[in-house]
Structure 1
Amino acid sequence: MNIQRNEWLISRRHALRGIGSILALPLLDCMRPARVAAASTAHLPPTRTLVTFTGMGFHSNHWWAKGEGSGMELGPCLKPLESWKERMVFLRGLWHEQANNGVIHCMQTGNMLSGAAMAKNEVHTGVSFDQVMARQIGDRTRVPSLVLGTEDAVPGLQDGHPLLYGSHISWSSPVSPTWTETRPALAFDQLFRTERGRDDRRVVDAVLDDAKALRRKLGSADRQRFEEYLGSVNEIEGRIKRAGKERQPGEWKPTLSTPDRPRPADGIPADLPEYWKLMNDVLLLAFRTDSTRIATMKYCNDASNIVYSHLGIRDHHHYLAHAQPESLITLNQFFTSQLAYLCQRMNEIKEGDSTLLDNTAIMHCSSMLHGNHDSKQLPVLLLGGAGGNLRGGRVLDYLDKPNRRMCSLFLRLMDWGGLRLDSFNDSTERLPGLV
């Protein structure tokens, strides 16, 4: 079947309908042209896991750190984090071997949080570690994970390879990226619109009934994808049930139970800094109210063509990454200033004798070191206290070490977040030196 010639057996518009609402189907072929024990620590604030991402790396001459503690020196790209360097670990030399086996950009990003191999002529990679956590321990909160972004996905192909890889870092299945919410109001609704649970439950029930009839019409390949889609519907059903779940006596309670700010206006703010701040604030609300403990924030796609005119920059991001003018430093500082804002706000939020920053593990990453597509060593920062597990003010170099896999870092992050696994994709051991 050729999607470009519109030889569709079932329209892409076909959807499961229930009580006047629609849940769109995934793209099917026929449409184409281990938990860590928590009982003993239930009274303590939980450790949150946050991944932030910006595409195309940083200025090659100005992304560096050296020294330790209060004497730590930061390169110009990191200057917005000067006040937080003692809460930061600068990691050098980590990589994904599978990200060096394909076309640049899209094939360097699709496995950012999984390390899995990526198919070249179809969408197929691995489940990202945030979604492994969401699947296994996400039932501790109303929302298993929050996946946010500030740039929509880009469709199409790059030299025959799916551009979808470059637009998503979070993957719920090998063929399905996790929906990335880019609208502040809808992200807010995802967290706090629980009063609609009864109607939502009726919709889900109707969708599942309708699905039984459609399943019988699908071939084996489509049936597999369809089952993955139904898994997401079942996840919605579970979220509805968790919305009414009450905390047990003696269990830790967040300092904020309901949002302390109004729902954002519909749409996307025209002012880009205000837009990014609003998305950051929704993320902070999610953690502060314990609506979720697992989140990703993709500030821009790989190969992004956004023009950051508010910084006085006239060229788009992709051009800057290649040409590396001084204005790229300004843009990189805008990126790291988002981390500084998150650290500042988290540090202001008290949780007993600690703060939200103490109880969060933040990983910032990009899919290449700088604009020449070097993914043999990735730029990675860790921030926060990870529940007392992470000591900042350090530079750790893994470039010549036998274990420099990003997946080894993911195993450690999952440990801190409450999930202990024996292995994850290409790694069977934790990244040394962090604890």
Structure 2
Amino acid sequence: MLRGAGAIAIALPWLEIMGPERTARAAPSPAKRFLSVYTPGGTVMNRWRPTGTETSFTLGPILSPLAPVQDRLLVVDGLDLKSARGEQHQSGIIAWLTGTAQEGSNNGGYGSGPSIDQVIASRISAGQKAKASIEIAVRWATGKSHGLVSPMNAANFENAAPFKPIPPRLDPVEIFTDLFGTLDPTAGDDAARRLARKRSILDFLDGRYSALSARLGAADRQKIDQHLTKIREIEMSLDNVPVETSACKAPERVDTSDYNPRTGLNSSDNGSIKDTSTDAAIPKVGKLMMDMLVMSLACDITAVGTLQWSDTEAKHTFPWLNLSEHHHYYQHDGGFKPAECERICNWYSKQHLYLLQEMEKVDMGGHSLLDESVVFFGSELSDPPSHNKTNMPFLLAGGGGGLRTGRWVRYPNLSHNNLLVSILNLFGDTRDTFGDPRYCTGPLTNLT
């Protein structure tokens, strides 16, 4: 009621200001760290899938080891790997993070776009951290790839055309020295001397390349500029060495002398050549790799990482599980063995539990490393014997970007490209499509 002089009064329409005061709801802060974790060969879906409702559910037997962190998980069910067009395993690992098809890509059998980890790295890590991203793998490039990068094992692809595959680093000793050598109290002055020598070599190369560039044509100059960019990235990594803090500490060293990171070079196409010593060391090496990834995030060495547990062939044995044949044998080479596949997948879930709990332990100043991160677990297919790529077994974890966990969400028959663009949105990237646009209809709802 609006009152004027004397007895004059005019009725007003309902205005929002007349209602109760509303509390402003702040948009969640973008996620700060990203990890992608690959496990080969899909799963046994009826042993993977939870039961119950979205917010009140019981994890299936394969995921049951993750029960202690169920409130930090988002089980993403029902998505199809529609952009995986091409060879049955290869197209799956290529599409997993790129959302592009191997079929018709004219890119050496790879896809036709970047992987989301590299897009995220360009936004939150490249030029800001010592390393734009870190890619590591355990027992990688088995079988037909013979220890070399190929469409059978490549998950990460550069952010710029021609979107070259990024092979993961394999040697745990070399990775430890590179990432944490300056934090190692036993290294003495050796680390400082190595650092100074690397700087002097890079300074020399930078100068020579710059002088040469002025005398080259446009195409050659572009190649040289790419080399210079790589050199400057290395220089930045040398200038941004980690400093030990309450959150940042060098992982505990592990004796990996019984593990040959390049044993894939000696592999046979059918997995008949076995390296049982290296295979037996997979659990301790995998644990060390996870420790190094966690600390590389906590020490701000990078903000983006990928861990590959083998490759799409996975032609290695599992001695600690008393499984003497390789994973591909249990998937279909020897006929589908669901009980053996379940044991392998259940073991991977235990490794995922360790990774997430270690991230949760790291105090980043009133919140955990996991709170500000997004972790994406995936595979190249869903059903091993049929190579089916519907109802993909995906998991998200963490709290970055406002991700709402402790839930089981289902998206029947939608494309997983929609999940990829949704993950990018968690990092403040506002695009509404990613990968091959034929297989992306926009971000998923109900993630945040």
Short-chain TM bin: 0.7 to 0.9
Q: Secondary structure at the match of 1:238?
A: helix
- SS, match of residue 61 in structure 1: helix
> Cα deviations across residues 233-276 of structure 1 (Å, max 9, x unaligned)?
443233334449x9xxxxxx963344264586678374221111
Aligned to 2:156: 170
Deviation at 1:393, TM superposition (A): 2.2
Alignment correspondent of 1:281: 291
Q: 1:256 to 1:121 in 2, by over 3 A?
A: closer
For residues 171-210 of structure 1, give each alpha carbon's deviation from its aligned partner in whole angstroms, at most 9, with x where no partner exists: 1254522231122222223323464443223333444566
Counterpart of 1:148 in 2: which secondary structure?
strand
Correspondences of 1:230-379 after superposition (within 5 Å)? 231-243=229-241, 255-259=246-250, 261-262=252-253, 268=259, 270=278, 271-322=281-332, 323-371=336-384, 372-379=386-393
Q: Which residue of 1 aligns with 2:394?
A: 380
The one-letter code matched in structure 2 to 1:289 is: C
Counting only pairs closer than 5 Å after superposition, residues 169-248 of structure 1 correspond to structure 2 as: 169-172=155-158, 173=160, 174-193=162-181, 195=192, 196-208=194-206, 231-243=229-241
Larger mean Cα displacement after TM superposition, 54-63 or 136-145: 136-145
Kept in 1, the 8 Å contact 2:317–2:324? The answer is yes
Percent same amino acid at aligned positions?
A: 26
CA distance in 2, matches of 1:122, 1:215: 29
Letter in 1 for 2:61: P
Q: Distance in 2 between matches of 1:224 and 1:94?
A: 40
Aligned to 1:59: 44
User: 1:114 is aligned with what amino acid?
Assistant: T
Correspondence for 2:82: 97
Cα–Cα, structure 1 residues 205 and 406, in superposed 2: closer, same or farther, change >3 Å? farther
Deviation for aligned residue 1:373: 1.0
Residues 94 and 110 of structure 2 are in contact (CA less than 8 Å); yes or no, is this contact kept in structure 1?
no
CA pair 116-45 structure 1, distance change in 2 beyond 3 A: closer
Indicate if the aligned counterparts of 1:143 and 1:191 stay in contact, CA closer than 8 A.
no
| Counterpart Cα distance in 1 of 2:225 and 2:383 | 39
Q: CA deviation at 1:141?
A: 2.1
Secondary structure, counterpart of 1:321 in structure 2: helix
Letter in 2 for 1:184: P
Amino acid paired to 1:355 = S
- In structure 2, relative to structure 1, the CA distance for the partners of 1:279 and 1:408 (3 Å cut) is same
The CA distance in 1 between the partners of 2:132 and 2:107, in whole Å, is 31
Secondary structure of 1:290 counterpart: coil
Question: Does the C-alpha gap of structure 1 residues 113 and 229 become closer, same or farther in structure 2, counting only changes over 3 Å?
Answer: farther
Tell me if the contact between 1:50 and 1:296 (Cα under 8 Å) persists in the aligned partners.
yes
Q: Deviations over 1:336-395 (max 9, x none)?
A: 1111111222222223332222222111000100212112332100112225x1222222
1:255/1:288 contact within 8 Å kept: no
Q: Name the SS for the 1:373 alignment partner.
A: coil
Q: Structure 2 vs 1, CA of residues 221 and 121 (structure 1 numbering), >3 Å: closer, same or farther?
A: farther
User: Which segment drifts farther, 197-206 or 377-386?
Assistant: 197-206
2:21 corresponds in structure 1 to: none
C-alpha distance in 1, partners of 2:429/2:297? 18
Mapping for residues 106-121 of structure 1, pairs under 5 Å: 106-118=90-102, 119=105
Report if the CA contact (8 A) 2:40-2:310 is conserved: yes
Give, in angstroms, the shift of residue 302 of structure 1: 0.5
Q: Output one character per residue of 1:402-430: Cα deviation in whole Å (capped at 9) or x when no partner.
A: xx333332333233345444543234732
Q: Is the 8 A contact 1:254 1:288 kept in 2?
A: no
Structure with a larger share of its residues in strand: 1
Supply the AA of the counterpart residue of 1:204: L
Aligned counterpart, 2:67 = 82
Deviation at 1:102, TM superposition (A): 1.1
CA contact (8 A) 1:72 1:85 kept: no
- Give the secondary structure class of the aligned counterpart of 1:203: helix
Aligned residues: 379
Are residues 179 and 303 of structure 1, via their aligned partners in 2, closer, same or farther at CA, if it must alter by over 3 Å? closer
- 1:286 is displaced (CA, Å) by 1.2
Given residue 235 of structure 2, which amino acid in structure 1 is its aligned partner? E
When residues 133 and 57 of structure 1 are mapped into structure 2, their CA distance, relative to the original with a 3 A threshold, is same
TM-score (norm 2): 0.73
Contact 1:93 1:398 in 2 (8 A): yes
Question: Contact between 1:113 and 1:170, CA under 8 Å: does it hold in 2?
Answer: yes
Could you tell me whether the CA contact under 8 Å between 2:403 and 2:447 is conserved in 1? yes
Give the conservation status (yes or no) of the 8 Å contact 1:254–1:290.
no
Q: Deviations over 1:71-128 (max 9, x none)?
A: 41121111111222222111122234331x2111112212321112323672442211
The answer on whether the counterparts of 1:349 and 1:356 sit within 8 Å (CA) in structure 2 is: yes
Normalised by the size of structure 1, how large is the TM-score? 0.75
* 1:383 counterpart SS class: strand
Residue of structure 1 equivalent to 2:3: none
Structure 2 stretches of 5 or more lacking a match?
1-25, 183-191, 261-277
Instruction: Structure 1: state its 5+ residue gaps.
Output: 1-39, 247-252
CA 1:178–1:193 in 2, change beyond 3 Å: closer, same or farther? farther
- Residue 289 of structure 2 aligns to a residue whose secondary structure is helix
Q: Is the 8 A contact 2:99 2:417 kept in 1?
A: yes
User: How far apart, in 2, do the equivalents of 1:225 and 1:116 lie?
Assistant: 26
Residue of structure 2 equivalent to 1:129: 116
Q: Is the 8 A contact 1:150 1:276 kept in 2?
A: yes
Tell me the CA shift for residue 129 of structure 1.
1.0
Which residue is equivalent to 1:73? 58
Select the structure of larger CA radius of gyration. Answer: 2
User: Quick check: 1:155–1:164 contact (8 Å CA) kept in 2?
Assistant: no
Counterpart code for 2:118:
Q
